[in-house]
Amino acid sequence: MEAWEAVIRTVGSLLKTFEAELQDAVGLPLPWYDVLVQLSSAPDGRLRMQALADSVVLSRSGLTRLIDRMEKADLVEREHCADDRRGYYAVLTEEGRRVFRGAKPVHEQGIYEHFTRHLDGGDARAVVAAFTKVRQGNRL
């Protein structure tokens, strides 16, 4: 199997598995979890919509629709930017923080169970080195 095919098949399978586990355990789609991760690690739990779009695996229009749904679920709220009347922040709500705290251990256990535990120290270093080269080569 070619390296690119191994990466695509493995990542695709893992994402499906992580999605199913989050859905089953806490009823949370993986893209929603991705948004909660980004916002929970941001200062004051808020990011400009453009910055959030750059940090998640969604198009800007896809993110807008996702934030609409997450806002209805009371996980995030939009807040106008004081210095840019056209700009908005996505802000993590208390409910969003609570849901994230419940989902995080589920996702971390899934990463361990389905990925990390299958690698020894040398494997893990090789994966980090390979993906670092790819990211740097593509300025990601």
Q: Please report, rounded to a whole number, the percentage of residues in the chain having pLDDT higher than 70.
A: 100
Both tokens of residue 17? 């598995």
Q: Residue type at 19?
A: E
What pLDDT shows up at residue 60? 74
Percent of the chain topping pLDDT 90: 81
Q: What pLDDT is stored for residue 62 in this prediction? A: 85
CATH (one of 1.10.760.10, 3.90.1260.10, 1.10.10.10, 1.10.357.10) for 3-137: 1.10.10.10
* Distance (Å, whole) CA 91 – CA 100: 13
- Map tokens 């909660």 to a residue: 36
Task: Give residue limits of the domains in the chain.
Answer: 3-137
Burial (CB count within 10 angstroms: exposed 0-12, middle 13-18, buried 19+), residue 111: middle
pLDDT reported for residue 1: 83
pLDDT digits (tens, 9 = 90+) for 91-119: 999 999 999 999 999 999 999 999 999 99
Whether the Cβ atoms of residue 97 and residue 40 lie closer than 8 Å to each other: yes
Q: What is the chain's alpha carbon radius of gyration, rounded to the nearest angstrom?
A: 17
pTM for the model stands at 0.89
Q: What is the four-CA torsion angle of 119, 121, 126, 131, rounded to 10 degrees?
A: 70
pLDDT in tens, 113-140: 999 999 999 999 999 999 999 989 998 7
Q: Give the pLDDT confidence of 51-102 residue by residue, as tens digits.
A: 999 899 777 778 899 999 999 999 999 999 888 778 899 999 999 999 999 9
pLDDT of residue 139: 85
The string of pLDDT tens digits covering residues 30-49 is 999 999 999 999 999 999 99
